[in-house]
Amino acid sequence: MGSPEEVLAARRVKSSLNLAGNKDKFMVESSKMRVVRSLDASGLVCPEPLMLVRAELRTMDSGELLSITATDPSTSRDLNNFCRFMGHSLESESSDNAIWVFVLRKG
């Protein structure tokens, strides 16, 4: 599958995405993604998740992936608009039981 870092990152994201019920889909995608960092914005409401994402992205290199877990439904809209405006890419988005998991690639 890849280096030990890629395997560990895939396991971290896999466990996050299992909460969202996309186990099979993620197992296919995980071999293509190398999540560098994870951010838990659960329990926070707009604009807090987006502010944390923005701060985290500032410390990352272009092309690196960030996994975000959130519970505020508006985070989906906010991240889509943020990525479009700032030149980032929303690689995946899933939700289940009021838990959203996003994987964002820094532009």
- Annotated domain spans of the chain: 4-105
Q: Assess contact for 37 and 71: CB atoms under 8 A.
A: no
Q: How far apart are CA 77 and CA 104, in angstroms?
A: 13
In the prediction, which pLDDT does 34 show? 72
4-105 folds as Translation Initiation Factor IF3 (3.30.110)
Lowest mean pLDDT among 19-28, 32-41, 59-68: 19-28
In the prediction, which pLDDT does 32 show? 58
Strands 35-41 and 65-70: parallel
Mean predicted lDDT score pLDDT of the chain:
78
Instruction: Give yes or no: 83 in active site.
Output: no
Location of structure tokens 């293509």: 32
Burial class (CB in 10 A: 0-12, 13-18, 19+), 92: buried
pTM of model > 0.85: no
User: Choosing from 46, 52, 60, 90, which is the catalytic residue?
Assistant: 46
DSSP letter assigned to residue 31? G
- For the residues 77-98, what does the mean pLDDT come to? 94
DSSP SS3 for 68: strand
Instruction: Give residues with Cβ within 8 angstroms of 6, minimum separation 6.
Output: 34
Residue 62 pLDDT class (50, 70, 90 cuts): very high
- For the residues 40-63, what does the mean pLDDT come to? 95
Please check the confidence at residue 51 and state whether its pLDDT lies above 90: yes
